[in-house]
């Protein structure tokens, strides 16, 4: 396997990488857990593990985008950006390029203080720019382990109103909910169970991974962190954790009751994302029947929302039907990393 360009997405919880060969084909897609809030050594360990599987020294260029600067390890976002660029330099022996949003890819020497705010949490824009080159218009919805990004695009342009996380939260272009790491008390404050409305315990007893495991939807390879209680990640383990959210034990109800409970949580999380979708569509910038493009490990929710809204659904893998080698992850799971890898290859050949 000859690698020409690599794209890295340094998140607060995961490190993702996509490798392209000399023809621009995706030949590797990988993701590793990286609880960056616990220290930079977690990032180093994730880099080390991926470096053992991908010949980094073969690459002519490596591009980096990030969201990890947000973790509370850093005193500010700008400090986080600087630190993560320095960390990437340690592992990226080839020409290192940094994604700075509307400024495109910059070399380290080109990065100035005014660019730091553009580099911070700009990975969503890389995805949007890449997709806008391949489809005429649509609404990209990337449902990941922790967050959901919504990006309307048309005529080669990304049509979001916000740029920073704060702005995107304001416009429902960033919804802080995902299919693995979201605490259930962030999805609902009460839930129907056994014919009654029950208030939830505001404790980290269970996460959305437990919900989708019980619903039969969870891609197990996407759940790379320990369960909330450190326990087993199977049907009974997830049901036990959900029961604790109601102040009950697993044995107090049949398994079917806990599956119904999981479906109720699923419905509420999907309704939150659907409301954000409707808000984007209400702008009227995509016509009457725009397609919803699903990305991320939770893109099955996008397909369900499209059905409810009577809209066409396009899976990102239908747009980029590529092999990802032996990894369980696909380009749809690591879209920003794939996007900056392709942008880096384009700059490599244009210089």
Residue 270 has a pLDDT of 98
- 90 pLDDT band, cuts 50/70/90, is confident
Q: What is the pLDDT of residues 17-56, one digit of tens each?
A: 999 999 988 989 999 999 999 999 999 999 999 988 887 7
* pTM beyond cutoff 0.75: yes
Query: What SS3 class is residue 255?
Result: helix
207-224: pLDDT as tens digits = 999 999 999 999 989 999
pLDDT given at position 1 = 66
Strand (E) positions, the chain?
A: 5-10, 14-20, 26-33, 61-66, 95-99, 105-107, 137-143, 148-154, 157-158, 174-175, 190-193, 196-199, 292-295, 313-315
Task: Quote the CA–CA distance of 195 and 128 in Å, as a whole number.
Answer: 44
pLDDT at position 347: 81
Determine the Cα–Cα distance for residues 12 and 38; give it in Å rounded to an integer. 10
Question: What is the rounded CA–CA span in Å between residue 54 and residue 193?
Answer: 48
Give the C-alpha separation, 295 to 140, whole Å: 7
Interatomic CA distance for residues 263 and 258, integer angstroms: 9
Instruction: Dump pLDDT digits (tens) for 135-184.
Output: 999 999 999 999 999 999 999 999 999 999 999 999 999 999 999 999 99
Count Cβ atoms below 10 Å from residue 220 Cβ, excluding itself: 12
Return the DSSP state at 12: S
Residue 321 banded pLDDT, cuts 50, 70, 90? confident
State the DSSP code for 333: T
Terminal-residue alpha carbon distance, the chain: 24
Among residues 84, 80, 108, 82, the alpha carbon closest in space to that of 94 is found at 108
Between CA 71 and CA 28 the distance in angstroms is: 27
Express each pLDDT in 249-299 by its tens digit: 999 999 999 999 999 999 999 999 999 999 999 999 998 889 999 999 999
Domains of the chain in sequence order: 5-133+320-350 (3.30.420.40), 136-319 (3.30.420.190)
Q: Give residue 323's pLDDT.
A: 56
- Quick count: other Cβ atoms within 10 Å of Cβ 350? 6
Which residues make beta-bridge pairs with 5? 20, 61
- What does the pLDDT look like over 114-141, one tens digit per residue? 999 999 999 999 999 999 999 999 999 9
């Amino acid at each position: 396997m000859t690698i020409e360009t690599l794209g890295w997405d340094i998140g607060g919880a995961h490190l993702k990488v996509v490798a392209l060969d000399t023809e621009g084909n995706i030949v590797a897609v990988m993701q590793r857990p990286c609880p960056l809030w616990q220290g930079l050594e977690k990032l180093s360990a994730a880099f080390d593990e991926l470096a053992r599987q991908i010949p980094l020294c073969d690459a002519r260029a490596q591009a980096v985008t990030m969201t990890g600067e947000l973790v509370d390890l850093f005193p500010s976002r700008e400090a986080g950006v600087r630190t993560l660029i320095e960390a990437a330099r340690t592992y990226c022996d080839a020409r290192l390029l940094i994604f700075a949003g509307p400024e495109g890819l910059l070399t380290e020497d080109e990065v100035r203080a005014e660019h730091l705010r553009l580099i911070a949490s700009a990975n969503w824009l890389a995805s949007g720019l890449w997709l806008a080159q391949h489809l005429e218009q649509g609404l990209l919805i990337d449902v990941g382990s922790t967050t959901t990004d919504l990006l309307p695009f048309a005529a080669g342009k990304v049509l979001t109103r916000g740029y920073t996380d704060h702005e995107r939260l304001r416009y429902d272009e960033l919804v802080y909910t995902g299919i693995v790491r979201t605490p259930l008390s962030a999805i609902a404050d009460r839930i129907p169970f056994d014919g009654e409305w029950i208030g939830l315990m505001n404790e980290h007893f269970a996460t959305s991974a437990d919900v989708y495991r019980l619903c039969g939807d969870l891609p197990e390879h996407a759940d790379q962190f320990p369960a909330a209680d450190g326990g087993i990640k199977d049907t009974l383990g997830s049901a036990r954790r959900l029961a604790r959210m109601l102040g009950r034990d697993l044995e107090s109800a049949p398994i079917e009751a806990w599956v119904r409970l999981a479906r109720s949580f699923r419905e509420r999380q999907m309704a939150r994302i659907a409301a954000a979708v409707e808000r984007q569509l209400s702008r009227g910038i995509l016509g009457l029947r725009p397609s919803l493009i699903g990305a991320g490990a939770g893109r099955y929710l996008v397909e369900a929302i499209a059905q409810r809204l009577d809209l066409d659904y396009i899976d990102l893998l239908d747009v980029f039907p590529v092999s990802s080698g032996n990894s369980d992850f696909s380009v749809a799971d690591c879209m920003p990393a794939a996007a900056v890898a392709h942008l880096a290859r384009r700059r490599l050949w244009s210089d």
